[in-house]
Chains A and B, each alone.
Chain A
Amino acid sequence: MIATQFPPLAASLFSLMAIGSLLLAFVMLGSRWLKDYLLAFAAQSWLIALLSAAVGYYGNFPELYFIAALTALFRGVVLPWLILRIIARLKVDRELHERLSPSSSLVIGAALVLFAFVVSSHLGRTLHLEGSVAVLALTVMLSMKLIGFLMLAVRGEALSQILGILVLENGIFLGSQILVPGMPLLLELVILFDLLVIVACFGVLVRYLVTHAGVTHARALRRLVG
């Protein structure tokens, strides 16, 4: 089943959830407190898990229930819990090293969403999908991608960078539920895979902290240049 064939109720439900996730991405972009940041990420993951379950229900893809459960478990519970533990241990509760104030990054984020909308509506026009949920999914996917890159660029705290990467992947995850719901095996693998990325990130981070106790912002990593 392709995105255009969903019943109207389902399509509007999907749109609601997609827009909700985009809003949560803006919450992350606008917050200085790492805990808020983390809560927004967890909420976004739960929303995406609900979205997969809904797509599975309306589109008859039973595998997606499994994906939804995995998403909720790993991205909604395990990862936030791990990050919370690290926040508690490091005693950094707010982003201190942003290169751009949250309000200016919100404005830039809005401009990026506009850009994503222009690109995806162009693609939607060539496919004759104007106004369908597919174009919205594409917009949200590209915007979350761009917002994730913005976070990586303007945030200096190591934990914020990990969360930035997770937002990048949430974006792809959300878009692919609506655009290509029949691609399940790959998605399962990707979920497990992300966990590995995060575990690796933590491994490096912890080693870094062991050798340089106290420094947790990536901006201090500037010895290698040229």
Chain B
Amino acid sequence: MSSESLIAVILLAPLAAVLLCLLVQRPRPAEFFNLAAAVVVFLAVLALLPHSLSGPQRLADDYLIVDALSTWGLLCVASVYLLSSIYAIGYMRRLSEDARLHRFYALFAGFALTTLSGPLMNNVGVYWIAIELTTLVSTFLVCFELGAESIEAAWKYLVIVSAGISLALLGTVLYYWAGSFALGPSYSLTWAALREVAPRLDPAIATTAFLLVTIGFGTKVGLAPMHTWLPDAHSEGPAPVSAMLSGALLNTAMIGIARFLQVSDAAGSGALPRAAVVALGAFSLFVAALFIVRQTGIKRLMAYSSVEHMGVLALGFGFGGPLGIAGALYHMLNHSLNKSLMFFGAGNAMRAYGSKRIGAIRGLPTRMPVSGWLWLAGAVAITGAPPFGLFRSELTVLRAGLRSDHAWAVYLMLVLLIVIFVGFLAHFRAMYFERAPAAAEELQSEEDIERAQPLRDFPDAWCVVPMALALIPLLALGLWWPDFFARCFAAVAANLSVGGRS
């Protein structure tokens, strides 16, 4: 199939799922529609991958771009969408919300649709709109359970991200203004047009615009200190939504920052833009390390781990060069798979013990044998231990950093990764090997009392299989770097270099 028809399939399948869910209004068919859309999208993205290597293609009157970077972003989103659609079937049935379940799946497919369309947008303004749309749809997924805390999280998410992302709009307007001195008052602001006009932009405006855009999209990516919405939204949504937010959504905003970095390179803005991205990445790692060590909530632990990994991505793109970009892209896919696995495990443990507190989860190997061990393997992987994929990608980012001008960030990153490794696995050690204190009932806060009762026969196969499906490629990617990936990364690096063709 040609790329046009594949893109059409990728965008129309979730749209069809949204419409069918709203039309049929019954829970079981809605599950099926969403899962079918996820499978179709995943297969179409796999078929699209070889097309993307032959060079950038522009479709739909220059509004869509299919290049190696956008296809890679699609691959991450599609994998997470598939895994979390499988998981959602098992997880959402237990919420006893069957009457509203078709609405959940309609929103879920709609969220996937907006997240899939983000990386494909060729017009900078439309890209901004796509990113903002993801916020609007996912807000309602975050507060789907209608608890006081989830509504608080949704409110903070919406206010902080809309306010933050309006800075990105300001930056986009400044880019357009700077470009209008060279191109006239009306032109189409595509990534390619912006890059070509970049050498003629005024450096002061280009730098200001870049910083505004980075802060704006950085809010959406969850880079510290703009990350404050992230732990709330990720911990209060249902587990499949948390996986989508963390594994799919954050990456699509990161792709925009990578493209803007290229523009500022072409504009000759000097060292400041890259230094700013590297500093944000390093600070995210620092904040994440502090909060991981002292964390008490299980899903908040995973959320701060997302802040950490977005920091690693920012460092990779900030270091730049073929090696930095390859490391960052590899890390993106590994993070998508691994964070889905971690949120699935957290959702299982939360339901099985009826509490969100790490302190309430004890003796995991006996309570959840299969998914417990899968989750532990995921925890080892996410802290960057070999032989999993994240070890290789973090090592690649470190190597790229040593070759760049920001070697200080490499040493800081090493120390913080070790702190996170120790802090993160200490929580897992307690959950796996410590016995529950005898007076556990008294220790529980009132927060726990209002939670649902622990579910006895949970997790079932729907909730365990996607964990295994995420872990297998993660292990494979750690042992073996496929040749196809190397070609893909080389294509992205060529596109993102100064004067690249995308």
Tell whether, in the assembled complex, residue A172 and residue B170 are in contact, meaning their CB atoms are under 8 Å apart: yes
A145-B170, A200-B139, A224-B153 are contacts. A193–B186 as well, Cβ < 8 Å?
no
Q: How far is the CA of A197 from the CA of B162 in the complex (A)?
A: 8
Tell whether, in the assembled complex, residue B155 and residue A208 are in contact, meaning their CB atoms are under 8 Å apart: yes
Q: Mark A110-127, 1 if CB is under 8 A from B, else 0.
A: 000000000100110011
Contact of A180 among B132, B143, B153, B176 (CB under 8 A): B176
CB closest residue in chain A, given B300: A226
Tell whether, in the assembled complex, residue A197 and residue B169 are in contact, meaning their CB atoms are under 8 Å apart: no
Tell whether, in the assembled complex, residue A126 and residue B173 are in contact, meaning their CB atoms are under 8 Å apart: no
**Would you call B232 an interface residue if the criterion is a C-beta within 8 Å of the partner chain's C-beta atoms?**
yes
Give the segment of B290-298, B405-413, B460-468 that binds chain A: B290-298
Give chain A's interface residues, CB within 8 Å of chain B: 1-2, 119, 122-123, 126-127, 141, 145, 148-149, 152, 158, 161, 164-165, 168-169, 171-172, 175-176, 179-183, 186, 189-190, 193, 196-197, 200-201, 203-205, 207-208, 211-212, 218, 221, 223-224, 226
**Would you call B444 an interface residue if the criterion is a C-beta within 8 Å of the partner chain's C-beta atoms?**
no
Q: How far is the CA of A170 from the CA of B357 in the complex (A)?
A: 43
Tell whether, in the assembled complex, residue A204 and residue B151 are in contact, meaning their CB atoms are under 8 Å apart: yes
A selection of 7 A-B contacts at a CB cut-off of 8 Å is A2-B180, A165-B163, A172-B169, A197-B162, A212-B148, A223-B149, A223-B152
Tell whether, in the assembled complex, residue B158 and residue A126 are in contact, meaning their CB atoms are under 8 Å apart: no
CB closest residue in chain A, given B208: A123
A141-B170, A200-B139, A203-B140 are contacts. A183–B208 as well, Cβ < 8 Å?
no
Q: How far is the CA of A158 from the CA of B155 in the complex (A)?
A: 9
Report B-chain residues with C-beta under 8 Å of the C-beta of A152: 159, 163
Give chain B's interface residues, CB within 8 Å of chain A: 125-126, 129, 132-133, 136, 139-140, 143, 146-149, 151-156, 158-159, 162-163, 166-167, 169-170, 173, 176-177, 180-181, 184-187, 189, 202-205, 208, 231-232, 235-236, 291, 294-297, 300
Q: How far is the CA of A122 from the CA of B204 in the complex (A)?
A: 9
Tell whether, in the assembled complex, residue B185 and residue A204 are in contact, meaning their CB atoms are under 8 Å apart: no
Tell whether, in the assembled complex, residue A221 and residue B155 are in contact, meaning their CB atoms are under 8 Å apart: yes
A175, A203, A205, A224 — most chain B CB neighbours (10 Å): A224
How far does the Cβ of A74 sit from chain B's closest Cβ, in whole Å? 16
Tell whether, in the assembled complex, residue B155 and residue A182 are in contact, meaning their CB atoms are under 8 Å apart: no
Tell whether, in the assembled complex, residue B181 and residue A2 are in contact, meaning their CB atoms are under 8 Å apart: yes
Tell whether, in the assembled complex, residue B232 and residue A183 are in contact, meaning their CB atoms are under 8 Å apart: no
CB closest residue in chain B, given A1: B185
Q: How far is the CA of A161 from the CA of B161 in the complex (A)?
A: 13
Report A-chain residues with C-beta under 8 Å of the C-beta of B126: 186, 189
CB closest residue in chain A, given B178: A127
Tell whether, in the assembled complex, residue A183 and residue B176 are in contact, meaning their CB atoms are under 8 Å apart: yes
Report A-chain residues with C-beta under 8 Å of the C-beta of B291: 226
CB closest residue in chain A, given B173: A176
Report A-chain residues with C-beta under 8 Å of the C-beta of B184: 182
Q: A2-B185, A200-B136, A208-B155 are in contact. List 6 more A-B contacts (CB 8 A).
A: A169-B166, A180-B180, A186-B126, A193-B132, A204-B158, A207-B143
Tell whether, in the assembled complex, residue B232 and residue A224 are in contact, meaning their CB atoms are under 8 Å apart: yes
Q: How far is the CA of A179 from the CA of B158 in the complex (A)?
A: 28
A2-B181, A122-B204, A180-B180 are contacts. A221–B140 as well, Cβ < 8 Å?
no
Q: How far is the CA of A58 from the CA of B58 in the complex (A)?
A: 36
Tell whether, in the assembled complex, residue B159 and residue A180 are in contact, meaning their CB atoms are under 8 Å apart: no
Report B-chain residues with C-beta under 8 Å of the C-beta of A122: 204
How far does the Cβ of A64 sit from chain B's closest Cβ, in whole Å? 12
